[in-house]
Amino acid sequence: MNQKKRKSHYHADMLSVEDAREKILSKFKTLNPIQINILESVGSVISENIISEINVPPLDNSAMDGYAVIKNDLLKADDENIIYLDVIEEIPAGTIPKLSLSPGQASRIMTGAPIPSGSDAVVPFEDTNELENNDKNKIGIKISVKNLENIRKKSEDIKKGSVIIKKGSLITSATVGVMASIGREKVSVIRKPIIGILSTGNELLEPGEKNQDGKIYNSNTYTLSSLVTEFGATPLIQKHALDKVEDLEKKLAKLKDVDLIVTSAGVSKGDYDIVKDVLDKNGDINLWSVNMRPAKPLAFGIITIDGKKIPLLGVPGNPVSAMIAFEKFGRYAIDKMKGKPLRNRPIIKANLESDIINHDGRRLYSRVKVIVDSSSKIIAVPIKNQSSGVLTSMHEANGLAICPSDIDILKKGEKIDVEMFNWNENISDILNNEE
């Protein structure tokens, strides 16, 4: 290892990322359950056991388009010895067979249609002479079949009376389908948190507004709100506030019904950072220095709006810092409110393509793009400009390389830890190649 241990720069006044997260999470609890349509439930945690009132499939049915037969009729059937059966019925999907089979008989059957009584196998069309044969009342069979061949058994998917989805599980797209398959329309889930989003700054314009000298477009509202959606909560966006106490208070007042307010900017040391004053006046908010780069300054606490106490997370204004602060703190709060297990990102080992320098002894999250080269080596390529104002670096990166606070430099060629935040199409290669 080329890593050099650092002894200086110990930041006793800073909170570790983990301690800051723990303090934040202690102010959140799982939200209440609500009944919703299954179509709205993906990504939520289910708050009931789902017990099926039906069997799925409800009856033995055909897995192929073909002919329902009696296997013993076909013991000697093959290409050279076609065996002819009398066709007594046609059974489309969604109907019930009227006739039962006796030896020497077959019913033409479609995929999903119930098997007629007496039948114990289905022969697919391609193993019959249906195409060559003009007599609709007869069918020539070219194969022998095993017991239950091409038959899907009643209740092989779901047994009536069984618990098929356990309380506390995460609802995936497949879970929604399973609920639909037993005819469930509504389900009880932990409700989605509503996250109020409020950017602050006199310099901000909204996308769609005409560009002006000296102004910049507000991107934080848009990244934060997209992150909120990505993590399965509902963003409630307030138009950005000016650096004026009254404007900020007026806009905060509109967020009185949310589960968490995320503000951006005004938490570092600047003359116009009136956010701090407003938070001080209206709540119990603390300004922290977190031992990380980017996103050292952070505000967190409880703000009182109209007598309601609401957690508030103030992330820094710099666009990369705002995203990384949300990634490290905000998303965990959402998961906790949703009743989900708190999960860190998967960490992979990658070969570093060029040095990463840690010059002030904080835990460094360096934006990298992880790629797999032609010899299947996993390489972390640091994005050139690591300024916390350069938002395109987040667009280019798919992971954050972690440099511990007590290490000065991660050297080119070293194996380093990368937290993957974007699974791109390379990731299956990456995981397959991991040591």
Helix, strand, coil shares, percent, the chain, to 5: 20, 30, 45
Of 66 and 196, the one with the shorter C-beta distance to ligand AMP is: 196
Select from Mg ion, ligand AMP, none the partner in contact with residue 161, using the beta carbon and a kind-dependent cut-off of 5 to 8 Å: none
Question: Closest CB to Mg ion among 265 and 290?
Answer: 265
Q: Is 314 in the site for ligand AMP (CB under 6 A)?
A: no
92 or 389: CB nearest ligand AMP: 389
- Output the CA torsion sign for 360, 361, 363, 368: positive
Can you tell me whether residue 299 is helix, strand or coil? strand
Q: Which is nearer to ligand AMP, 110 or 390 (CB)?
A: 390
Nearer to ligand AMP, 61 or 199 (CB): 199
Beta bridge partners of 289: 297
Nearer to ligand AMP, 116 or 196 (CB): 196
How far apart are the C-alpha atoms of 138 and 326, rounded to whole Å?
70
Binding segment for ligand AMP (CB under 6 A), chosen from 51-59, 112-120, 263-271, 332-340, is: 263-271
Site string for Mg ion, 239-278 (x = CB under 5 A): --------------------------x-------------
297 binds Mg ion (CB under 5 A): no
Q: Which of 163, 270, 359, 392 binds ligand AMP (CB under 6 A)?
A: 270
Look at residues 300, 315, 219 and name the one whose alpha carbon lies nearest to residue 264.
Answer: 315
| Residue 216: CB minimum distance to ligand AMP, A | 5
State the binding partner of 218 from Mg ion, ligand AMP, none, CB within 5 to 8 A by kind: ligand AMP
> DSSP assignment, residue 276?
H
DSSP designation for 120: -
Site string for ligand AMP, 150-189 (x = CB under 6 A): ----------------------------------------
CB neighbourhood size of 207 (10 A): 9
State which of positions 198-227 bind ligand AMP (CB under 6 A).
199, 201, 203-204, 216, 218-221
Burial label, 336 (beta-carbon count in 10 A; 0-12, 13-18, 19+): buried
Of 405, 402, 395, nearest in space to 418 by CA: 402
Contact indicator for 300, 24 with CB cutoff of 8 Å: yes
Smallest gap, in angstroms, from Cβ of residue 270 to Mg ion?
A: 6
Beta strands in 38-159 (DSSP E): 50-51, 61-62, 66-69, 83-91, 105-109, 121-124, 138-141, 151-152
- Tokens 């909204």 correspond to what residue? 206
**What region, left, alpha or beta, does residue 71 occupy, with left being phi > 0 and alpha being psi -120 to 50 degrees?**
alpha
Question: Smallest gap, in angstroms, from Cβ of residue 296 to ligand AMP?
Answer: 11
Quick check: 201 binds Mg ion (CB under 5 A)? yes
In the bound state, the residue with its beta carbon closest to ligand AMP is 317
CA atoms of 412 and 405, how far apart (whole Å) = 18
Integer Cα distance of 335 and 251 in angstroms: 26
Q: Of ligand AMP, Mg ion, none, which one does residue 319 interact with (CB within 5 to 8 Å by kind)?
A: ligand AMP
CB 110 within 8 A of CB 45: no
Instruction: Pick the binder of ligand AMP from 197, 265, 350, 370 (CB under 6 A).
Output: 265
Closer to ligand AMP at the Cβ: 207 or 341? Answer: 207
Q: List residues binding ligand AMP (CB under 6 A).
A: 199, 201, 203-204, 216, 218-221, 264-266, 268, 270, 316-319, 389
